[in-house]
Amino acid sequence: PLLLLLLALLVPPPCPAAPCPPRPNATRFVCTEPTLSAFPAGLPPTTVAVSVEFTALAGLPAAALAGLPRLRELHLASNRLAALPEPLLRPVPALRVLDLTDNLLTDLPDGIFATARHLQHLVLRGNRLRALRPAWFRHLLDLQWLDVAANALAEVPPQVFHPLWSLKSLDLSHNRVASLAPAALAGLRALERLDMEGNGLGTLAPATFAPAPALRLLFLQDNELRVLPDGVFVPLRHLHVLDLAHNRLRALELPPPRPGPALDLDISGNPWACECPLLALLRHAAPRLAATRDTRCDSPPRYRGQEVAAVSQAGDTGC
């Protein structure tokens, strides 16, 4: 027994296995191990998708993706990444999807996407980005989906998205953008969905949406809009959904009538002036109003508190 005890003390315990060891010849690698703190090494060159999410990963070496020439998807959501090295994506020119949701990124190198020319989906949601750099988007001609929601962006620089002629969906919600420059959406001729919810937007320029005539879905709820410029939605002849809920609007602007289904419109939570311009517009356009119980008149006194839809349909308004 004494000899066995001595041997046990002399022989070191086996090293714990590294979390999520790669499998030879696998095409997909997934790891959600909370203790993982370093990007896995030794992934096979057959790998086409990597998902390292909900881990303790706080940094990536510049050569983290070396040897993965077929990689098309990289999911790095819910880690602790505060910075990325500029050469990170150079070894993966076939990359189509990059998801960096819920990290600690405050900025990105100018050339981070210079070789990611086939990128189609880029998600930067839930970081700490303070500014959008034009250099990020210069080479992303195939990008179709861009999500930069829930950051700390205070402005959208003019022309910043100009190279993104293929972009169909842009999410800028829950930032700090108080106004949009007239050329903020320049170049986005294919854009179909724009989300500006929860930004504190106070004003819109009359030509704000002119560069994006293909818009079908426009979300402007939970902002500080008091006035809509005359004709601001006129260029949007394909608009299907317009959300203006919970602003400070008293008067309404709508896109021109179009053939097909009625416009889905949410104008709840605004202090509407239920006078002839608003009532006549709603009768003429006949949109499908959402949240009608919360869409109420604030003035004139005789209609205060009544549902806008009921007042507009009444025959005794004198309009």
pLDDT tens for 139-155 read 999 999 999 999 999 99
Residues 8, 255: Cα–Cα separation, whole Å: 80
* Cβ contacts of 14 within 8 Å, gap of 6 or more: none
Amino acid letter, 141? L
Q: Given pLDDT bands bounded at 50, 70 and 90, which one contains residue 1? A: low
- What average pLDDT does this structure show over 23-30? 92
Whether 12 has a pLDDT exceeding 90, the answer reads no
How confident is the model at residue 95, as a pLDDT? 98
| Residue 300 burial (C-beta neighbours within 10 Å; 0-12, 13-18, 19+) | exposed
Residues 20, 27: Cα–Cα separation, whole Å: 15
Whether 2 has a pLDDT exceeding 60, the answer reads no
Q: How many CB atoms lie within 10 A of CB 264?
A: 15
257 compared with 201, residue with greater pLDDT: 201
How confident is the model at residue 314, as a pLDDT? 84
Q: Given pLDDT bands bounded at 50, 70 and 90, which one contains residue 10? A: low
pTM summary value: 0.93
Whether 279 has a pLDDT exceeding 90, the answer reads yes
Summarize pLDDT for 91-140 with one digit per residue, the tens.
Answer: 999 999 999 999 999 999 999 999 999 999 999 999 999 999 999 999 99
Residues 300, 282: Cα–Cα separation, whole Å: 17
Q: What angle do CA 170, 175, 179 make, to 5 degrees?
A: 85
Residues 132, 206: Cα–Cα separation, whole Å: 23
Whether 319 has a pLDDT exceeding 90, the answer reads no
Q: Given pLDDT bands bounded at 50, 70 and 90, which one contains residue 316? A: confident
Residues 275, 250: Cα–Cα separation, whole Å: 10
Whether 8 has a pLDDT exceeding 90, the answer reads no
Q: How many residues does the chain have?
A: 319
> Across-strand partners of 241?
217, 264
Q: Given pLDDT bands bounded at 50, 70 and 90, which one contains residue 3? A: low
Residues 147, 177: Cα–Cα separation, whole Å: 15
Q: How far is CA 56 from the centre of its chain?
A: 24
Q: Given pLDDT bands bounded at 50, 70 and 90, which one contains residue 194? A: very high
- What average pLDDT does this structure show over 234-263? 95
Q: Given pLDDT bands bounded at 50, 70 and 90, which one contains residue 239? A: very high
How confident is the model at residue 23, as a pLDDT? 87
Q: What is the mean pLDDT of the chain?
A: 94
How confident is the model at residue 25, as a pLDDT? 85
- Alpha-helix residue ranges (DSSP H) falling in the chain: 2-10, 134-137, 276-285, 308-313
Summarize pLDDT for 204-223 with one digit per residue, the tens.
Answer: 999 999 999 999 999 999 99
